[in-house]
């Protein structure tokens, strides 16, 4: 009897150990089940659904590519336009600087022609100076440099510099009646303002004093 009881108790202990071993294995089994539920197949199925939602039709893809091409073309056109404008502006500024440095030579040539005409010198000298002046004017035209017109124009402080103001009943108020020094400009850039004499206009009590005011 004692031996039977011992065997029974040993069997009971073995059964308890077996059940504990099974319980110890259960977490692994649970983790394996969870890993199976989160397998790459489940992720791939979810990704497939997501990819399907953003997939473009051939027409939509064509329209998208066409829009991108048009944007790139517009940006390239704007870049070319800005580059050309910058080059033109830089070229104009360079022309202004060069012409401004040669203004004393142009003034000397004009003074020489005027002196020859007033003195009645040999016509060959006058013709030679006039030919030089024509060539210079041709170069200025090629550079798009123009002389500021003053005769009969109203005084404009943006392009004119008044050297004096005189009474002139035959001229309107602020009219330019004479030019002391020529002015030049290149497009919208002023190279040098014209130095002029401006009429006060109408009768004035200053006529007895010579009718001149300096540096108005």
pLDDT of residue 209: 42
DSSP notation for the chain: -HHHHHHHHHHHHHHHHHHHHHHHHHHHHHHHHHHHHT-HHHHHHHHHHHHHHHPPPHHHHHHHHHHHHHHHHHHHHHHHHHHHHHHHHHHHHHHHHHHHHHHHHHHHHHHHHHHHHHHT--HHHHHHHHHHHHHHHHHHHHTTEEEPP-TTPBP-TTTEEEEEEE--TTS-TTBEEEEEE--EEETTEEEEPEEEEEE--S--GGGGGTSEEE--
The 10s digit of each residue's pLDDT in 153-166 is 999 999 999 999 99
Q: Is the dihedral of CA 44, 50, 51, 52 positive or negative?
A: positive
pLDDT of residue 84: 92
pLDDT of residue 80: 92
pLDDT of residue 31: 47
Lowest mean pLDDT among 56-65, 75-84, 112-121, 178-187: 112-121
pLDDT of residue 43: 45
| Mean pLDDT to the nearest integer, 32-40 | 49
Q: Which residue has the higher pLDDT, 35 or 192?
A: 192
Q: Which residue has the higher pLDDT, 151 or 216?
A: 151
Starting at the edge strand found earlier in the chain, the sheet holding 145-147 runs 145-147, 184-186, 189-192
pLDDT > 90: percent of the chain: 39
Distance CA 193, CA 161 (A): 6
Burial zone of 165 (CB within 10 Å; 0-12 exposed, 13-18 middle, 19+ buried):
buried
Distance CA 72, CA 78 (A): 10
- Reply yes or no on whether the pLDDT at 3 is more than 80: no
| Mean pLDDT to the nearest integer, 35-58 | 55
pLDDT of residue 63: 87
**Domain definitions of the chain by residue range:** 71-143, 146-216
**CATH number listed for the domain at residues 146-216:** 2.30.22.10
- State the chain's mean pLDDT as an integer: 76
- Reply yes or no on whether the pLDDT at 2 is more than 50: no
């Amino acid at each position: 009897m004692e031996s039977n009881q011992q065997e029974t108790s040993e069997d009971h202990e073995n059964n308890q150990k077996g059940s504990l071993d099974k319980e110890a294995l259960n977490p692994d089994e649970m983790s394996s089940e969870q890993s199976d539920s989160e397998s790459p197949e489940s992720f791939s199925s979810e990704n497939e659904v997501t990819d399907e939602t953003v997939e473009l039709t051939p027409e939509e893809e064509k329209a998208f590519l066409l829009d991108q091409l048009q944007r790139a073309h517009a940006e390239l056109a704007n870049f070319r336009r800005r580059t050309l404008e910058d080059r033109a502006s830089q070229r104009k500024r360079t022309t202004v600087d060069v012409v401004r440095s040669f203004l004393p030579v142009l003034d000397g040539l004009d003074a020489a022609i005027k002196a020859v005409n007033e003195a009645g010198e040999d016509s060959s000298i006058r013709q030679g100076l006039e030919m030089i002046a024509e060539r210079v004017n041709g170069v200025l035209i090629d550079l798009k440099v123009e002389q500021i017109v003053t005769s009969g124009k109203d005084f404009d402080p943006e392009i004119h510099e008044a050297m004096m103001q005189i009474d002139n009943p035959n001229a309107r108020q602020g009219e330019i009646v004479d030019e002391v020094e020529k002015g030049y400009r290149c497009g919208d850039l002023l190279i040098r303002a014209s130095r002029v004499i401006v009429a006060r206009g109408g009768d004035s009590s200053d006529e007895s004093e010579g009718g001149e005011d300096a540096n108005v």
